Amino acid sequence: STLGQVPQALAQQVSSPSREDFLALARQGWVYEVRTARHQRDTGASVQFNSTEAALGPLCVFGDHPHAQSKRILRIFSDLLSDIYGHRLAITYAPGPINNCPDRQRIYLRLYSGRAPDRRFNADLQHLDREFDIGFPRGWSEPVRSPGQVNGFFGRRGSTAHLLINQPPRGDLSELQQKYHASLLIEELFQAISFGADILKFERATPFLSKLQEIPVNLRALPWASESFMAGLLTSTPGALCGFDVFMLHALAGANLRNTNSPALLRFIETHFEQLRDETLQTLSNPGYTSVLDGECLAVPG
């Protein structure tokens, strides 16, 4: 049977989510009103969430020299996307400032270690404004608000995403550090490629079903590098991708919509649910993806 091919962690899960659970999550995370808190000029740019374009890249990794764990996650993530979309994610490594990247990248990923790089982050955004004509007002800037964040922009000369990820420090890592930094990178990569929105989860008693689900926690007073902050963040969301997230990648690839932020995506999922479930189980059975999957939330509807 198909179930016999999936990881043991999945086979041991007694209760599986329902088809309705998956459809509700897809509705919450992928069909939403676009809002922005930024004050920018009206560029007349159309806002379209095309996950196929994002999954193919190109992606430029710049900033601090990539940690071995960062490179491994990027490689595995690219393998996963190749399996689902049929083409590898085109990745360029260009350590240093953003202008070392080739022009007009679909995704820019700044890796940094240590303190939040507020000045370099804003220099990145000004560079993207010049490249894509996003329309930021003169003198505009904003602080780094999280150790892992993604910002999407839609300018006159195309759309792009900027990821800012705190990667592991040099030297030996604790298990907590490994899981924490992996979680940051996996979540933002998935969000940048899928265009999924954060999904607040208030019921602590029910299991997580998606990496985009977040239980609200108050960590504002804690330093980002502290064990308390890292442990707190890891309890608020799955450590890696869930079965639903892989299901959604298959749905986004299969629907092949120019704009995935649409009820048409939900209609595609409803019509092709069993096929998408079987494709998801096949992908989950690949042991090469274990490092980007959370073994506690891999279950899919039966």
Tokens standing for residue 84: 């689902």
The pLDDT tens digits for 211-241 are 999 999 999 999 999 999 999 999 999 999 9
pLDDT tier at 15 (50, 70, 90 boundaries)? confident
| pLDDT confidence of residue 218 | 92
pTM for the complete prediction? 0.90
CB burial of residue 28 (10 Å; 0-12, 13-18, 19+): middle
pLDDT surpassing 60 at residue 6:
no
The pLDDT tens digits for 253-286 are 999 888 778 889 999 999 999 999 999 999 999 9
| pLDDT confidence of residue 173 | 95
Mean pLDDT on 25-43 = 67
